[in-house]
């Protein structure tokens, strides 16, 4: 089954399998017209990897040994974003200063300008949030209400 918006665009095909089809992708247009192609969804292992990529340590402050004392969680946010992009990205049309499209690799991801890296991470986060809302609407049978334009449009 397909979920279609008011313009006839397929927003999502409902899943008939419990397994991820790694070849399915989704293209997102960035603010300046450049684009990124991401995987339509991650498998369980990849989801856990992305969610825990920046986790480095969990420790109690010196001298605190009680179970109800606060715990300090040490997180590397740089690693989280790099792993998110490396896991989700399939392709892009981002170029070097000479106009050459560079491949999606860990090295090219690390060398992105900060503003571009943040834009890509935000685009992935927005896509994931939209998919989660749509999956929830489909599960609850409210997708038609969610996707229909309001009477004021």
Element (H, E) at 61: none
Alpha-carbon dihedral sign for residues 96, 89, 13, 17: positive
Average pLDDT over all residues of the chain: 80
Tell me what pLDDT residue 12 has.
56
For residues 83-107, average pLDDT: 95
First-residue to last-residue Cα distance in the chain? 26
> Could you tell me the two tokens for 59?
């420790």
Higher confidence at residue 97 or residue 51?
Answer: 97
Residues, the chain, total? 153
- pLDDT of 27 strictly over 90: yes
Mean pLDDT highest for which of 26-30, 52-56, 58-62, 71-75?
26-30
Residue 60 in contact with residue 72, Cβ under 8 Å? yes
Nearest CA-CA partner of 130 in 7, 38, 19: 38
């Amino acid at each position: 089954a397909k979920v279609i918006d008011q313009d006839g665009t397929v927003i999502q095909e409902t899943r008939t399998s419990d397994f991820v089809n790694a070849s399915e992708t989704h293209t997102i247009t960035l603010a300046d017209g450049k684009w990124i192609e991401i995987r339509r969804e991650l498998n369980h292992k990849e989801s856990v990897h992305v969610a825990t990529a920046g986790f480095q340590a969990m420790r109690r402050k010196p001298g605190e040994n009680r179970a109800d004392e606060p715990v300090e969680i040490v997180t590397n946010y740089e690693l989280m974003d790099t792993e998110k992009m490396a896991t989700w990205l399939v392709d892009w049309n981002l170029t070097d200063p000479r106009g050459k499209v560079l491949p999606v690799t860990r090295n090219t991801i690390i060398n992105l300008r900060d503003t571009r890296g943040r834009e890509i991470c935000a685009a992935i986060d927005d896509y994931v949030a939209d998919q989660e809302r749509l999956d929830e609407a489909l599960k609850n049978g409210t997708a038609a209400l969610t996707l229909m334009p309001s009477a004021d449009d």
